[in-house]
């Protein structure tokens, strides 16, 4: 037995696959893991894949277009897309499917860009359709669009740097020397690691005019020439001056785009001809169908997609007696017929991602384009200098052609011809090589005189080019001239109309929404559910994310309003009917996204204000409480957000909607409590009131919680009740403390 046990131990040591062997674990600090493993991967995705650079292209776009340029597809005829995809793999070895998808998005047929770069033939799908798939690459054909001439202008004249491809067999440009700000003209979306980019498109002519004006005056008002974003799918942009100004200044923000429609009274139908860039026709039809089936929209009898070769068309059959304006107003609120576009102008500049506003982007583009023009001018000047140098050597030969012939004829070895010419005429090796290569038929005075007559002209041209390099004004004039040429050749009218927000205000449609009782639930992390009483009775337990849990529950009606308070002293107003009926098993709607809250903002409280006759009590860390009348949050206009919803002197820790007949329990961080009647706090009409002191706090202590006393485990209320404020409170007894979850430490 002892021998068998020893043999087993030997086998376990010799064979690491034997069950029971303890593997060696190498510990590594998390900081080292991030630096060694995570950061190189993240930077590779950010720099080499997902984020566009100042020329407006990602590497995949640039590799495809440059391959097509080298294939002669800028001036030649179309070729099969499969041929282009195969050639592109010499630069982009990520598979033919990814390359072809890139080509599809850049194509004229797909209609994703205001200025498409691929002149396509065949079925390339549509950006506004989820189900209209593009044909295989063996069936379609493509070549470069004419505007690509502006991308590759002077690319062979040292305007940009080149680098080796992945296997070192050929060279490719690091950027394309675009002669217009393509970074703003072409819409671009990318998701990297821990960051993303979402750039909306702008009209080509407007963008170029803005760049021209900024070259003249760096303080130019951008909004006077760059009116608003423009999309290839058209639609109507709801213009809000503050939102657009914020996007132009910071590169972040959002705006809404709605569909274009027309009412054909004779057929009792509504035709939708243009939709927002960020949605699809199938998504719109699915949502409208859902609303009709749930009974929330009763005026529609049918909806169908009648898109054909003439373009997009969605047709809605409406019932008799329906007012089309009111119906479309409701559909704009409840469906993707009106959708939001969130901007995040994240761009790679010198290999580093930066979020920039429009002015800063155009300034960076101008600086980069200035460098391209200077490099082109310097390259041209160097070529002319080389030519001038050769002609000056030829000019010396003019003095004695017969002597040059005699030197050549008298030289016995070919290798000595150039040195002898150098000695005989005092010229350098380059000049002597040029003279030696002249054909016999050209050794005559007429030929040499014609060549040397170029000398004076070249000297003037070189001097002019040197002046351009030394004159920022002349460089700006060159860039301006090129931008004007682009406007003249490729400028087009806006596709997206601008509708000012006051004219686009949606009428109050409260009476149009069906009215029925609902139960509202809000989780700690901001997930909101609207559940009908029937569904609530039939459903099971409420579902939450693993780290989430219940926060608020209230009863309301579908026509009711909802006030959502945030931790940034703001309140958002919305309608209960704007949310879909859901079930307890669903996670619900994430309110920060639904309400377009500011970055980093989270939900603190929510309530149904009813007729705005009550009040809300807001408790702060400093021991104060402010009771604000709900009428302070009522507005005559259809505003969606109110700033300065409550005081910012101290962080808010609790919100309680209460009348005078309720008692409240307030807790401090040192386990003391005070119970008092809400009537002791007088209501104020001003939202920014600092409140009154309700609890006297010791040094380094703070108010941490406030709830109706009925929601607490306190049994002896008289111990903590006070008749006047502020009060220090009484120490909590063991039985009156809140239940706390025990945690076990595993050894």
List the catalytic residues.
139
What gap in Å lies between CA 408 and CA 505, rounded to an integer? Answer: 90
Quote the tokens at residue 303.
């909806």
What is the b/e burial string over 92-113, where b = at least 16 CB atoms within 10 angstroms of the residue's CB?
beeeeeebbebbbbbbbbbbbb
Query: CA torsion angle for 543, 545, 550, 552 (degrees, to 10)?
Result: -100
Q: Are strands 269-274 and 260-264 parallel, antiparallel or unpaired?
A: antiparallel
DSSP code per residue over 615-648: EEEEEETTSEEEEEEGGGG--SS--SEEE--S--
Q: Specify whether the CB–CB gap between 201 and 185 falls below 8 A.
A: yes
Q: How many CB atoms lie within 10 A of CB 705?
A: 15
Q: Which H, E and C letters describe 533-587, residue by residue?
A: HHHHHHCCCCCCCCCCCEEEEEEEECCCEEEEEECCCEEEEEEHHHCCECCCCCC
Q: Which H, E and C letters describe 115-137, residue by residue?
A: CCCEEEECCCCCCCCCCCCCCCC
Cα distances from 679 to residues 622, 658, 667, 676, in angstroms, run 20, 9, 18, 8
Q: Specify whether the CB–CB gap between 700 and 653 falls below 8 A.
A: no
Length of the chain in residues, anyone?
747
What gap in Å lies between CA 625 and CA 31, rounded to an integer? Answer: 44
Q: Which H, E and C letters describe 593-606, residue by residue?
A: HHCCCCCCCCEEEE
Q: Tokens 């049918």 appear where? A: 302
Q: Tokens 């559910």 appear where? A: 529
Q: Specify whether the CB–CB gap between 208 and 483 falls below 8 A.
A: yes
Q: Specify whether the CB–CB gap between 312 and 216 falls below 8 A.
A: no
């Amino acid at each position: 037995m002892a021998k068998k046990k020893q043999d087993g131990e030997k086998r376990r040591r010799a064979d690491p696959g034997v069950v029971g062997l303890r593997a060696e674990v190498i510990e590594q600090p998390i900081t080292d893991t991030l630096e060694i493993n995570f950061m190189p991967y993240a930077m590779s995705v950010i720099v080499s894949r997902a984020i566009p650079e100042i020329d407006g292209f990602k590497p995949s776009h640039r590799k495809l277009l440059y391959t097509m340029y080298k294939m002669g597809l800028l001036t030649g005829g179309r070729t099969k897309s499969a041929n282009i995809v195969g050639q592109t793999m010499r630069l982009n070895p990520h598979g033919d499917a990814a390359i072809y998808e890139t080509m599809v998005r850049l194509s004229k047929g797909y209609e994703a860009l205001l200025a498409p770069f691929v002149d396509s033939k065949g079925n390339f799908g549509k950006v506004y359709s989820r189900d209209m798939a593009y044909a295989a690459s063996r069936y379609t054909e493509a070549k470069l669009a004419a505007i690509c001439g502006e991308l590759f202008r002077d690319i062979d004249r040292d305007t940009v740097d080149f680098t080796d491809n992945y296997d070192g067999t050929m060279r490719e440009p690091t950027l394309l020397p675009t002669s217009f700000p393509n970074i703003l003209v072409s819409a671009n979306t990318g998701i990297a690691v821990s960051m993303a980019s979402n750039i909306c498109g702008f009209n080509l002519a407007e963008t170029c005019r803005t760049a021209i004006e900024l070259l003249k005056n760096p303080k130019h008002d951008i909004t006077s020439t760059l009116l608003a974003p423009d999309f290839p799918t058209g639609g109507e942009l709801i213009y809000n001056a503050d939102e657009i100004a914020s996007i132009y200044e910071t590169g972040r923000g959002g705006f809404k785009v709605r569909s274009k429609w027309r009412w054909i009274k004779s057929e009792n139908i509504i035709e939708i001809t243009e939709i927002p860039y960020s949605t699809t026709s199938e998504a719109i039809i699915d949502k409208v169908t859902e609303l009709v089936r749930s009974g929330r929209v009763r005026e529609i009898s049918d909806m169908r997609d009648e898109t054909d070769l003439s373009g997009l068309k969605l047709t809605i059959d409406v019932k008799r007696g329906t007012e089309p304006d009111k119906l479309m107003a409701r559909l704009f609120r409840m469906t993707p017929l009106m959708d939001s576009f969130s901007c995040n102008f994240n761009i790679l500049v010198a290999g580093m991602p930066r979020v920039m506003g429009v002015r800063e982007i155009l300034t960076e583009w101008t600086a980069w384009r200035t460098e391209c023009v200077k490099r082109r001018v310097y390259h041209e000047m160097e070529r002319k200098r080389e030519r001038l140098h050769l002609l000056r050597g030829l000019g010396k030969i003019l003095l004695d052609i017969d002597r040059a012939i005699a030197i050549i004829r008298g030289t016995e070895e070919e290798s000595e011809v150039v040195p002898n010419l150098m000695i005989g005429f005092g010229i350098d090796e380059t000049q002597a090589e040029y003279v030696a290569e002249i054909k016999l038929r050209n050794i005559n005075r007429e030929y040499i005189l014609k060549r040397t007559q170029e000398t004076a002209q070249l000297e003037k041209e070189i001097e002019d080019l040197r002046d351009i390099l030394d004159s920022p004004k002349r460089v700006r004039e060159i860039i301006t001239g090129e931008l004007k040429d682009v406007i003249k050749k490729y400028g087009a009218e806006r596709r997206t109309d601008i509708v000012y927000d006051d004219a686009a205000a949606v009428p109050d449609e409260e009476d149009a929404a069906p009215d029925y009782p609902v139960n509202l639930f809000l989780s700690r992390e901001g997930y909101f559910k609207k559940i009908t009483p029937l569904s609530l009775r039939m459903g099971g337990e409420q579902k939450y994310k693993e780290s989430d849990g219940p926060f608020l529950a209230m009863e309301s009606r579908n026509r009711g309003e909802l006030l959502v308070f945030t931790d940034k002293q703001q309140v958002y107003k919305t309608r209960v009917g704007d949310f879909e009926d859901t079930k307890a098993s669903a996670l619900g709607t994430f309110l920060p996204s639904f309400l377009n809250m500011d970055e980093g903002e989270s939900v603190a409280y929510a309530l149904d204000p009813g007729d705005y006759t009550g009040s809300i009590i807001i408790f702060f860390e400093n021991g104060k409480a402010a009771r604000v009348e709900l009428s302070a949050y009522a507005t005559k206009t259809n505003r969606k957000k109110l700033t300065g919803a409550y005081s910012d002197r101290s962080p808010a820790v609790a919100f309680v909607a209460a009348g005078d007949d309720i008692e409240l329990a307030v807790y401090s961080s040192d386990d003391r409590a005070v119970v008092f009647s809400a009537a002791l706090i007088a209501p104020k009409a001003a939202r920014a009131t600092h409140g009154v002191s309700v609890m006297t706090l010791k040094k380094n202590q703070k108010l941490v919680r406030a709830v109706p006393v009925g929601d607490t485990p306190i049994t002896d209320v008289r111990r903590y009740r006070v008749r006047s404020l502020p009060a220090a409170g009484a120490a909590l007894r063991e039985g009156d403390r809140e239940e706390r979850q025990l945690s076990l430490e595993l050894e």
